[in-house]
Amino acid sequence: MYKFIDLFSGLGGFRIALERKGMECVFASDIDERVNLAYKKNFGDMPSGDITEISEKKIPKHDILCAGFPCQSFSISGKMKGLNDNRGRLFYEIIRIVQYHQPYVLLLENVKNILTVDNGQVIKTIEVKLDEIGYRLYKHVLNSSYFGIPQSRERVYFVGLRKDTGISSSPPRETRKEIYLEDVLDKEVDDSLFINRTDITIERENVEHALKPIRLGIVNKGGQGERIYSIKGHATTLSAYGGGVGARTGLYLVDKRVRKLSISECKKIMGFPVTFYVSEGLRGYQQLGNAVIPAMIAKAV
């Protein structure tokens, strides 16, 4: 049985994907105490804390290293400080652990912008550092919309393979499964999710199904978090933060009314079981917005 570790583990999207393939998680780590409590409720064991304070010698031997390392320093919505940001420098913690344990495979996930931030110097540095310790890096830019997930979430999935394994990695084939946001909506949601304002503008309603977000109108001036989409398309990218009345989930026209998505709907468009535990309220949305989609990790393996 292959063994893996789950760094910056968050809600455990990597773990779900690899356990479904019959693999065993032998170590997890995250600095967020609230998300660690959620992780324990779902998997039965508590992740270790700050990885910068954990010796690589105390981490169990493993075949695969998984890490959805923090993306804020590479994100367009952040300040894009790259590896100069403390969060960006957490990549070097991965290097430290990989250099000691030499796993066969590295599975990493991050925002697409990591490929271009700092004029491409960040990704070049990552490739050079991994090459120096014996790994060849493959980069697959994938959008979950084309793999049976009704959410447009474009991410880069890195597969690092130890050179002496002699194997390579190819991007998975898109399924283009016809599934839409309307297929996963809850039958009933709390009234607090509905937007009751006088500055809502619906520009169109009759649209065809599509594997992408379909914009129908706006709230206020249509800024970030103020765009309204059709349930005949896909959800916009869930985010941990962001502004506007539709922050984190986006806004959708459902039965002639505009609303945000519920926590259970967010779980479904991230590919998590509805019974999967997340923190209450805003923290739950943040945890899901920071998560990786298990089905996408399974495709990238």
CATH number for 236: 3.90.120.10
pLDDT attached to residue 88: 54
Per-residue CA distances from 162 to 47, 123, 167, 169, 188 (Å): 26, 18, 8, 11, 49
Task: Report the catalytic residues.
Answer: 71
Note whether 170 and 187 are same-domain residues: no
Whether residues 142 and 22 fall in one domain = yes
pLDDT of 70 reads: 76
167 and 28, same domain (yes or no): yes
120, exposed or middle or buried, with CB in 10 Å at 0-12, 13-18, 19+? exposed
Pair 208, 163 in one domain: no
In terms of domains, do 41 and 156 share one?
yes
What is the Cβ-side half-sphere exposure of residue 274, based on CA atoms within 13 angstroms? 6
User: How far is it, in rounded angstroms, from Cα 95 to Cα 244?
Assistant: 38
Q: Which pLDDT belongs to residue 163?
A: 97
Say how far residue 234 (Cα) sits from the centre of its chain: 16
Grouping H, G, I as helix, E, B as strand and the rest as coil, residue 154 is: strand
- Provide the domain count of the chain: 2
- Do 185 and 164 sit in the same domain of this protein? no
Scanning the structure block, which residue is given the tokens 């893996």? 4
Q: Residue 59: give its domain's CATH number.
A: 3.40.50.150
| pLDDT at residue 78 in the model | 47
Provide the residue type at 53 as one letter.
Answer: E
pLDDT beneath 50: ranges in the chain: 74-78, 80, 82, 87
| pLDDT at 242 (0 to 100) | 80
Euclidean distance between CA atoms 157 and 140, whole angstroms: 5
- The domain in which residue 150 lies consists of 3-175+292-300
